[in-house]
Amino acid sequence: ELSVKHPQSGCSFGGRFYSLEDTWHPDLGEPFGVMHCVKCYCETQRGRKGKVLGKVSCKNIKQDCPEPSCDDPVLLPGQCCKTCPKDFAEVLTDLNSRELFWLSRGQLVITVETEGQDPRHISGFITGRKSCDTIQSVMSSGDALTPGKTGGVGSAFFHLHDNGTLDYQVQLVGVSSEVVGLTIELKPRRRSKRSVLYDLTPEFDRPSGRAAGSWSRLEARHIHMLLQNELFINVATAHSQEGELRGQIKALLYSGLEAPRHEIPVPLAGQFVAPPVLTSAGGHAWVSVDERCHLHYEIVVAGLSKADDLTVNAHLHGLAEIGELDERSTNHKRLLTGFYGSQAQGVLKDISVELLRHLDRGTAFIQVSTKVNTRGEIRGRVHVPNNCEFGTKGEVELAEFDDLFVRDPEELKKDPHTCFFESQHHAHGSLWTPNYNHCFTCSCQKRTVICDPVICPVLTCSRTIQPDDKCCPMCVERKNSKDMKAPERLDEHPEGCYFEGDQKMHAPGSTWHPFVPPFGYIKCALCTCKGATGEVHCEKVTCPALTCSRPVRRSPSDCCKECLEEDKPPLEHADMMQADGTSHCKFGKNFYQNSDNWHPRVPLMGEMKCITCWCDHGVTKCQRKQCPVLTCSNITRREDMCCPECQGKTNTHTHTYIHTHHAP
């Protein structure tokens, strides 16, 4: 097994940890891939008290490419700069079954030899890439072939040996009925046609809900699919024969944290929330406490809103917390982080003695909350034995006291909790209006920027105005009459009201939905600025009585349910930003109608013409242009082409051959 010492300082980027002074090309994942013309650098900086920190900086390096000295330079796959032809490549398409077997067992050798009077050669075994990444899967009801909301979860992690053997450990909790099948599968061509590769059911122990064992007969193509995140694990139950839970098997990139990935993770399920939540989501977490009594955590979730997963925008996906299982106590609960996408990770340093004791006793929990379920979407019980009866060791964090003072820009750059957004540094806990759209409110939550669109309240007055510097319309006063009470004048209290939630001044007489970081705007409450006194009065929204039999909540963030109408008016642009329907898609800052297609734009790279995205009933889908497999030895790619192509044959002076090497 590969043992790696965890570095003390470095940079986290895209879920991967880099040491100080490291350089790399960012990988944006499928279908974008590696940005070969962008180079990132982990720059060394000094923080407070001389602590060494890392800062990521990236730039486009295409303009730095040297001018080739030959007349016919080529652009090789995986390169940014054109070079003179000298390399060669070949695709072997005729490996027999025996050779493929030795390849899967790590016993195939590749040798390169040179010609001439003094020939030289180098050789080595062809094996899987050595990595500290973890192959794992979260199985949720939301990702099942027929999606549901059961509140159950499955958790699995794997270890691939050099000889092609795959060790696995699986645990299931909260399923609705008896487990009748546990299988590793391919992506089905049709929903009703599953492709099972390996059956884990015989190793499943129903009383404990666990399965552990080894798959020793993987073929080379199966190993390739495993490392390319193309395999799935499916859980069939008596009530859901095709699958109640399902998850993609994929690599969790090494983060540099001291989380015990060699141990089975803590399952996070809606069934463990108090009261239980029938959610489509599930998750698991690795948690540890180091010798300094700092908490290291890594959380992976699946099955949350797919529309949010696939849009590249700043919407809060989850909120991770740690706390005590006793619901009667609210003191021993801490925010871990707000996060986008499907992963959250970090280190919590200032933990109370009480919370450390609960971790030691196994009476603590990890919880992920969302805007839909603010009191908890999924939860899991955590038991981390520790010897921290006197609390955290080491320097005391001063972040709470720093918020009382105006932060110096240079100090902000050194603070590891600072957010960098729109070329400016923002302190942890701060709020601001972004430059790209003044109808959003952004907050910084420990290096994570969360932006929410302003939600305007419904006005009941007959006359409104739209101030140029405001996002929402306001009521205006009418002439006073004997039989009608006039609204408060806008100039009775010219200073207006200061609201702590969004840290803004509100005009006298104005109403708004309160902003509560990090959940954003709360539609179930309405605040009003009393013009005469400058006081803010907030009250819960009263929902109207409905006469229909099946009222629905149009958007998860809506407070009140409503009756559906057959003829719905078309959505305006502002409504599209807040709607959770199935007709429109949001990608970056743009909105698209159903069936629209476009080429996505990536910072520093511009338009990605080789990738096409389209809107499929509210879900954004993207795909890279499929390129044919080339069998020629000289492959090149023109700058204006998406796919590589064959060049004319040239003579080479190097021989490569493959042979097997194994024990008799």
Give the model confidence (pLDDT) of 538-551 as tens digits. Answer: 777 778 888 888 78
Tell me the torsion sign for CA atoms 236, 237, 242, 245: negative
Whether the Cβ atoms of residue 351 and residue 336 lie closer than 8 Å to each other = no
CA dist 261 and 134 (Å) reads: 7
* pLDDT at res. 161: 87
Q: Of 298, 284, 301, 286, which Cα lies nearest the Cα of 340? A: 301
Tell me the pLDDT tens digit for each residue of 264-294. Answer: 899 999 999 989 999 999 999 999 998 888 8
DSSP symbol at 349? -
Between 303 and 5, the higher pLDDT residue: 303
Count of beta carbons in the 10 Å neighbourhood of residue 234: 24
Cβ neighbours for 390, distance < 8 A, ≥ 6 positions apart: 353
Residue linked to tokens 């840290």: 503
* C-alpha of 152 from chain center: 21
| Cα atoms in the Cβ-side hemisphere of radius 13 Å centred on 358 | 22
* pLDDT at res. 605: 67
DSSP string, 52-111: EEEEEEEEE-GGGPPPPSSSS-B--TT-SS-B-S-----------HHHHHHHHTT-EEEE
CA angle, residues 201, 206, 212, in degrees to nearest 5? 55
Residue linked to tokens 């730039």: 59
Model pTM score: 0.50
Between 576 and 552, the higher pLDDT residue: 552
* pLDDT at res. 658: 58
3 state SS of 211: strand
Tell me the pLDDT tens digit for each residue of 115-132. Answer: 778 888 899 888 777 778
Between 597 and 284, the higher pLDDT residue: 284
| For residue 395, pLDDT beyond 80 | no
CA dist 354 and 359 (Å) reads: 9
Cα separation values, 463 from 316, 470, 473, 490, 497, Å:
35, 16, 10, 14, 22
CA dist 654 and 578 (Å) reads: 61
On average, the pLDDT of the chain sits at 76
Reported confidence tier of residue 196, pLDDT bands at 50, 70, 90? very high
| For residue 244, pLDDT beyond 90 | yes
Q: Considering only 14-28, 203-217, 519-533, which range has the smallest mean pLDDT?
A: 519-533
CA dist 583 and 595 (Å) reads: 9
Between 654 and 528, the higher pLDDT residue: 528
Reported confidence tier of residue 66, pLDDT bands at 50, 70, 90? confident
Question: What stretch(es) of the chain map to CATH 2.60.40?
Answer: 255-307+314-389
Q: What is the mean pLDDT of residues 223-233?
A: 91
Identify the H or E element spanning 319.
Answer: strand 318-324
3 state SS of 379: strand
Cα separation values, 640 from 74, 78, 367, Å:
12, 15, 48
Tell me the pLDDT tens digit for each residue of 601-615. Answer: 776 667 788 888 888
Count of beta carbons in the 10 Å neighbourhood of residue 607: 11
Q: What percent of the chain is predicted at pLDDT more than 90?
A: 18
Residue 47 backbone phi and psi in degrees, to 5: -95, -165
* pLDDT at res. 328: 57
| Cα atoms in the Cβ-side hemisphere of radius 13 Å centred on 425 | 15
Whether the Cβ atoms of residue 270 and residue 337 lie closer than 8 Å to each other = no
Count of beta carbons in the 10 Å neighbourhood of residue 464: 11
CA dist 69 and 83 (Å) reads: 8
* pLDDT at res. 4: 38
Count of beta carbons in the 10 Å neighbourhood of residue 315: 16
* pLDDT at res. 515: 75
| For residue 343, pLDDT beyond 70 | yes
Q: What percent of the chain is predicted at pLDDT more than 70?
A: 77
| For residue 216, pLDDT beyond 60 | yes
Reported confidence tier of residue 574, pLDDT bands at 50, 70, 90? very low
| For residue 330, pLDDT beyond 70 | no
CA dist 373 and 281 (Å) reads: 11
| For residue 231, pLDDT beyond 80 | yes
Size (the chain), residues = 664
DSSP string, 148-163: -----EEEEEEEE-TT
Whether the Cβ atoms of residue 374 and residue 559 lie closer than 8 Å to each other = no
DSSP symbol at 593? E
CA dist 458 and 290 (Å) reads: 51
Q: What is the mean pLDDT of residues 66-89?
A: 80
CA dist 379 and 318 (Å) reads: 12
* pLDDT at res. 518: 59
| For residue 464, pLDDT beyond 50 | yes
* pLDDT at res. 321: 77
Q: Considering only 121-130, 202-211, 422-431, 631-640, which range has the smallest mean pLDDT?
A: 631-640
Whether the Cβ atoms of residue 211 and residue 205 lie closer than 8 Å to each other = yes
Reported confidence tier of residue 91, pLDDT bands at 50, 70, 90? low
Whether the Cβ atoms of residue 342 and residue 15 lie closer than 8 Å to each other = no
Reported confidence tier of residue 596, pLDDT bands at 50, 70, 90? confident
Dihedral over alpha carbons 632, 637, 638, 642 (to 10 degrees): 120
What is the pairing mode between strands 654-660 and 108-114? antiparallel
Reported confidence tier of residue 194, pLDDT bands at 50, 70, 90? confident
Burial class (CB in 10 A: 0-12, 13-18, 19+), 236: buried
Residue 15 backbone phi and psi in degrees, to 5: 80, 0
Helices (H), ranges, 476-518: none
CA angle, residues 284, 285, 286, in degrees to nearest 5? 140
CA dist 64 and 593 (Å) reads: 40
Reported confidence tier of residue 394, pLDDT bands at 50, 70, 90? very low
Tell me the pLDDT tens digit for each residue of 158-192. Answer: 999 888 889 999 999 999 999 999 999 998 877 66
Helices (H), ranges, 91-154: 97-104
Q: What is the mean pLDDT of residues 2-21?
A: 65
Does 255-307+314-389 carry CATH code 2.60.40? yes
The residues with which 248 forms a beta bridge, in sequence order, are 232
Residue linked to tokens 């390129």: 627
Whether the Cβ atoms of residue 607 and residue 599 lie closer than 8 Å to each other = yes
| For residue 412, pLDDT beyond 80 | no
CA dist 291 and 349 (Å) reads: 11
| For residue 659, pLDDT beyond 70 | no
Tell me the pLDDT tens digit for each residue of 481-496. Answer: 444 333 433 344 456 7
3 state SS of 541: coil
DSSP symbol at 270? G
- 220-227 and 97-104 helices, crossing angle to 10°: 50
Residue linked to tokens 């006073």: 480
* pLDDT at res. 46: 77
Cα separation values, 133 from 3, 4, 28, Å:
12, 11, 17
* pLDDT at res. 438: 75
| For residue 661, pLDDT beyond 80 | no
Cis geometry, peptide bond prior to residue 518 (ω within 30 degrees of 0): yes
CA dist 128 and 113 (Å) reads: 23
| For residue 569, pLDDT beyond 60 | no
Q: What is the mean pLDDT of residues 107-117?
A: 83
DSSP symbol at 364? E
